[in-house]
Amino acid sequence: MYAIVEIAGKQYKVEKDAVINVDRLKGSEGSITLDKVLLFSNDGNVMVGHPYLSNVKIQAEILGEIKGEKVRGIKFKRRKNYQRTLGHRQVYSQIKISDVVVN
């Protein structure tokens, strides 16, 4: 049993007891309900929303915030003796899917 959910404009495949990293969510640690379910599959039975399914809700819990891997970028100008290295670490919210509720 799995579902495709839209969180902060991006789509994620979720299953019960899965831990996923999503873009930083507003709000602190605690439980949330994800209601933008695009697709739900259970033992070969597939339900597709137009655009969302109204009878499927996902219960999730925000575990905290983590940082992703460092991404390095380089600025460079030829023949000018100029080179600069930049680094960035994206902040993600880590959520755990606690339950998939189908009405």
Indicate whether 17 pLDDT > 90. yes
Two structure tokens written together for 66: 């983590």
Residue type, 68: G
**Counting every residue, how long is the chain?**
103
Looking at residue 26, its pLDDT comes to: 86
Say which DSSP state 35 is in: -
Say which DSSP state 17 is in: T
Looking at residue 64, its pLDDT comes to: 94
Alpha-carbon gap, residue 103 to 39, rounded angstroms: 15
| Main-chain dihedrals φ then ψ at residue 81, nearest 5 degrees | 55, 45
Question: What predicted TM-score, i.e. pTM, was given to this entire model?
Answer: 0.84
Looking at residue 33, its pLDDT comes to: 94
Two structure tokens written together for 36: 């933008």
Say which DSSP state 43 is in: T
